[in-house]
Structure 1
Amino acid sequence: MAHPPRPHRHRRVLTRLLDRHRRPLAALLTAAALASGVLLLRPPPPATVGVLVASRDLDASRPLADGDLVHRALPERALPRGTLTPGTDTSGLRLNAPVRRGEVVTDARLSDPPARAYGPDLVAVPVRVDDPGVAGLLSPGSRVDILAVPAPADPHPFPTGPARPVVGDRPVLAVPSDGEGTGGRGGALVLIAATPDEARELAGHGVSSHLSITIRS
């Protein structure tokens, strides 16, 4: 008649196994303890919010369309003020400067009102310059100086004398396409941001002088 195995025999086998693998087991337990400590000390992941980012490189030459902005979840603490959230209606609005793919879009990037991104006291001012070719050198965000030369009396067809600076280092908000907003007049129309005082001075020079632009950047 077979006798059942004695419990102390099993204990001896287990003891021998533990002695044989003591070091690997100790290393494994130490690693598990360290991992548990790291998990306990690791801060929780930051809270995220849904925002709108540019789906591709965008310029300011046309209004925003469907698909230009896409939803992305980003850490809330890293976001600037005025971030656009999903559901914001941007259809038909224009950017006031180029935006790179993946860039978070804020209300300061939108040209409604046009000059808001450049300061609370600035207004959008249309300026007609004599040289229509200058419009091709400008884009929204360019910085320009506006110069004026007094219009000559007839019969002189061209202005004479040195140009006088009217406003300096002002951002371009928009450059209308050929024929847009020209009203049958020559030259090129450029929309810039300026102070109300500068806007009044530019309006006076618009009827009494020839205006030109120098480009800073």
Structure 2
Amino acid sequence: MRAQLDLTPNTFDRVVELTRGTRFRSATVRKIAAVVLATLGVVLFFRGDPATDTVAVVVSSRDLTPGQVIADSDVEVREIDSKQLPEGVVSDTDLVVGRTVAGPIRSGETVTDVRVLSPRLAGLSVGTDDARIVPVRLADAAVADMLRSGDVVDVLTVGPDTSRPDTPHPDTPNESVADKAPQILAAGAVVALVTTSESTRNQQEQVILLALPTPAANVVAAASLSNAITVTFR
């Protein structure tokens, strides 16, 4: 009789089979762990740092130009990292809607209190809380086209030259500009806004807004009612 072949696994075979199973399971576990970690990384990337404080602030929805009146559709509220916010941010759209833009604002930019015409803008421009913004129409409208927000100018008018004895009286019909002496109404005025000639019916109606301390602003406003006004650049 032939000897029967014994196929029963011995101890060595059992050890080899157990080792192979362990390797397979280890590889599977590593793959699963890699997938879990990758998913967690994606979630954390979009979630951001949970410890970061955010603040609801007003940002522009589109590019805004100086002189433009802000509408509801021009601004929106977004959550921004508090560490990235400038001073003077606005948290409520009602505080800026209806106000006039003082300087260019890009889409997505936070809107601050100095980006719109306000007492705050006047105060920061001249360095004192007691400040006002006064509108002025210049005698030479072409000068207004050369002005830009932030320019510093002196405001002048003309009056009778009292140093000349032959100077005609101000009411004299033949009195000319040459017979008048320049008078500085205010020094160091800051241009807050220049209306564009396209937004007015003609260039002669173009207006500039000047930030000045309140006493000087009142002087300039009163003089502009009856006198020709111009500015000199610094």
Would you call these one fold, judging by a TM-score over 0.5? yes
Q: TM-score, normalised by structure 2?
A: 0.62
Distance 1:163 1:10 in 2: 111
Does 2:199 match 1:199?
no
2:159 is the counterpart of 1:150: yes
Give the match for residue 89 of structure 2.
83
Give, in whole Å, the separation in 2 of the partners of 1:117 and 1:96.
13
Distance 1:174 1:148 in 2: 20
Residues 149-206 of structure 1 deviation map (CA, whole Å, 9 limit, x = unaligned): 32573312324466454433322234455469xxxxx775432110122124425644
Mind listing any 5+ residue stretches in structure 1 that lack a counterpart?
181-185
Alpha-carbon distance between aligned partners in 1 of 2:49 and 2:96, rounded to the nearest angstrom? 36
Give how far 1:51 is off: 2.0
Whichever of the two has the greater Rg, that structure is 2
How far does residue 144 in structure 1 lie from its aligned partner after superposition?
2.6
More helix by share: 2
Residue identity in the other structure for 2:122: A
Aligned length: 198
Per the alignment, residue 97 of structure 1 pairs with 103
What is the CA-CA distance between 1:110 and the residue it aligns to? 2.3
AA matched with 1:171: V
Residues 1:58 and 2:64 aligned together = yes
Equivalent position SS for 1:59: coil
What is residue 16 of structure 2 aligned with on the other side? 12
Take 1:172 and 1:136, find their aligned partners in 2: how far apart are those partners? 12
Local SS of the residue matching 2:110: coil
The secondary structure found in structure 2 opposite 1:135 is helix
Counterpart contact for 2:72–2:93, Cα < 8 Å = no
Q: Which residue of 2 aligns with 1:172?
A: 191
- Say yes or no: does 1:137 pair with 2:146: yes
Alignment deviations for residues 62-114 of structure 1 (CA, whole Å, 9 cap, x no partner) = 21013212333210122134322255353311122222222110223222346
For the aligned residue pairs, the C-alpha RMSD in angstroms reads 4.2
Moved more, 48-57 or 144-153: 144-153
Mapping of residues 19-34 of structure 1, within 5 Å: none
